[in-house]
A = this chain, B = another copy of it.
């Protein structure tokens, strides 16, 4: 999925109220960078970093962010999780494993819906991501309002930091995005009018009859109905139907293959 169209605008809707991503004790600058890239993929721009192991600002982070400079430049470093969430109204903690804590566990999708409702209410929101290997500790999770755990292969559920950010961030983006589940882009053409399809089918039927396609007259309506179903499944455009007229004509003109 390469390709970024920089001429298209930022998706606006909830940008100002989008959740803050809080990386807790990230070990490598590079991982902060790839997480920043995943954030910007999902229109998340506000990054807080608690106790990074490497110095900040960090050039490896900037390089790994692949152009997500807006996230890197705006990142703020905190000494503790408590300080990083002090001004937030609602905080979710991401974990891979159950932690034996009586706290609601949301899927990324359910969390995105909750985040969206709270963002519309003007609340300041945060999502905590733990260190690459160890994750968040229980004291840190206890400070969150809810837990987010992505449903993943239980026998192989370990994600790197950027992937965890992407899974949660993408649901946030999708929850605030109006993309239809399925779209059929028509470009400059339009679907064929049914009358044109009918004329094309009649021309086809003539040719098939002339070529001895119908073994028995009984089968003729059934076979034509099946061919018509095929054509309608293909949802032909105006241009497609003109092309098919030409195809039928050319095949008749070609005569039998020797």
* Cross-chain contact of A68 among B34, B100, B131, B156 (Cβ < 8 A): B156
Q: Which of A143-187 contact B (CB under 8 A)?
A: 149-160, 162-164, 166-167, 170, 173-174, 177, 179-187
Copies in the complex: 2
| Contact among B96, B179, B186 with A1 in the assembled complex (CB-CB below 8 Å) | B96
- Label chain A's interface by main secondary structure: loop
Q: Which of B34, B96, B160, B177 contacts A3 (CB 8 A)?
A: B96
A15: min CB distance to chain B, Å: 10
Stretch at the interface among A6-14, A201-209, A215-223: A6-14
The yes or no answer to A250 lying at the interface (CB within 8 A) is no
Q: How many Å lie between the Cα of A9 and that of B156 in the bound state?
A: 10
Q: Is B97 in contact with A5, judged by CB distance below 8 angstroms?
A: yes
Q: Is A66 an interface residue (CB 8 A)?
A: yes
A101 to B189, CA, bound (A): 11
A5 vs chain B, min Cβ distance (A): 6
Judge if A43 is at the interface, Cβ distance under 8 Å: yes
A200, CB-defined interface residue at 8 Å: no
A38 CB within 8 Å of chain B:
yes
Q: Contacts of A187 on B, CB cut-off 8 Å? A: 100, 102
Q: Does A31 contact B (CB under 8 A)?
A: no
Q: Are A41 and B105 in contact (CB under 8 A)?
A: no
Q: Are A2 and B96 in contact (CB under 8 A)?
A: yes
Which of B5, B129, B177, B237 has a CB less than 8 Å from the CB of A155? B5
Q: Which of the listed residues A3, A95, A103, A110 has the most CB atoms from chain B within 10 Å of its own CB?
A: A3
* With A105-B182, A167-B166, A181-B106: A2-B41 Cβ-Cβ less than 8 Å: no
CB neighbours of A157 from chain B (8 A): 1, 3-5, 41
Contact B164 A163, beta carbon cutoff 8 Å: no
Question: Is there contact, CB below 8 Å, between B3 and A156?
Answer: no
Asked if A211 CB lies within 8 Å of chain B CBs, one says no
Q: When the two chains form the complex, which single residue of B11, B152, B174, B189 contacts A109, counting CB atoms closer than 8 Å?
A: B174
